[in-house]
């Protein structure tokens, strides 16, 4: 053994792998848990009612407004905090709103009936114009009969009296501003031309009505949809060839 050779002593630190990294993993884990908690909080908030969302937003704008000594809170029931924060919750329409909207449409329906009665040439068409108000809105239907139509036979050309009717309806609905959808319907009788079927006819007739209504009173962008249903939504399902299945429906949303 060489007495002049230095002796090297290697000491290993205790703690293994964990000692090498120290406490860094704890910080990373804490960040992960915090991020997951924030994620689930956002998911919970997304599915809440508008009033709850507005309340939470109000809390972050002015936390002092939600003083626990005043009995307020950010969840439903904390009216005091909401009031002082200046946040007005956005809620779903209450029954009174629906009732008001329905009353507005009922008045419009009555105005249309009265206006149509004042036109002598339309007196004979009263029974073919059906105006009803439901919870979903106002529905106006122009019904054909075996002898009378609102369009030229087998085409989408409007008859003069049909234009008169649409003028009255358009002026009334244009004043309301509610969204309007137009539907075309046929009976189950097959169309003579093989290249043109009831689908095309019902859609073309709905579009003809749309063009007239936009020209005579509806506001720009008020038309919400134009649909052709052919004979898929019969008015008298037990009588698929009944002329009353041929109709134009004007559906007005209640606007609530």
Would you tell me the crossing angle of helices 95-117 and 160-176 to the nearest 10 degrees?
A: 150
| 245 in Cβ contact with 236 (< 8 Å) | yes
Instruction: Choose the weakest-confidence range: 37-46, 158-167, 231-240.
Output: 37-46
- Please count the other Cβ atoms lying within 10 Å of the Cβ belonging to residue 182: 22
The predicted model gives 178-190 an average pLDDT of 94
Residue 184 has a pLDDT of 97
- Residues 96-118: tens digit of each pLDDT: 577 788 888 899 889 889 988 88
Which tokens in the block code for residue 231?
């004979």
Residue 190 has a pLDDT of 86
Identify the residue with better confidence: 229 or 256: 229
For residue 224, what is the DSSP state? E
Please write down the HEC assignment for all residues of 94-116. CHHHHHHHHHHHHHHHHHHHHHH
- Residues 81-90: tens digit of each pLDDT: 444 444 444 4
Residue 62 has a pLDDT of 58
Say yes or no to pLDDT of 245 above 50. yes
Residue 94 has a pLDDT of 44
Say yes or no to pLDDT of 232 above 70. yes
Residue 254 has a pLDDT of 80
Say yes or no to pLDDT of 207 above 80. yes
Q: Percent of the chain scored above 70 by pLDDT?
A: 71
């Amino acid at each position: 053994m060489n007495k002049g050779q230095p002796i090297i002593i290697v000491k290993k630190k205790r703690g293994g792998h964990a000692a090498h990294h120290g406490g860094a993993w704890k910080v990373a884990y804490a960040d992960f848990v915090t991020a997951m908690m924030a994620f689930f909080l956002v998911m919970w908030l997304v599915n809440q009612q508008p009033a709850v969302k507005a309340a939470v937003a109000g809390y972050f704008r002015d936390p002092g407004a939600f003083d626990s000594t005043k009995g307020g809170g950010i969840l439903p029931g904390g009216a005091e905090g909401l009031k002082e924060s200046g946040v007005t919750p956005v809620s779903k329409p209450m029954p009174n709103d629906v009732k008001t909207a329905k009353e507005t449409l009922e008045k419009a329906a009555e105005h249309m009936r009265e206006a149509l009665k004042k036109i002598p040439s339309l007196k004979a068409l009263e029974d073919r114009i059906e105006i009803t108000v439901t919870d979903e809105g106002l529905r106006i239907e122009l019904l054909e009969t075996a002898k009378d139509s609102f369009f030229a036979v087998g085409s989408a050309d409007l008859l003069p009296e049909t234009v008169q009717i649409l003028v009255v309806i358009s002026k009334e609905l244009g004043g309301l501003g509610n969204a309007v959808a137009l539907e075309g319907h046929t009976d189950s009788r097959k169309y003579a031309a093989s290249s043109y079927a009831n689908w095309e006819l019902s859609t073309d007739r709905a579009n003809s009505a749309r063009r007239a209504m936009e020209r005579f009173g509806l506001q720009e962008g008020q038309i919400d949809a134009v649909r052709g249903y052919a004979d898929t939504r019969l008015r008298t399902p037990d009588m698929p060839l009944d002329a009353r299945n041929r109709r134009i429906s004007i559906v007005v949303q209640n606007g609530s």
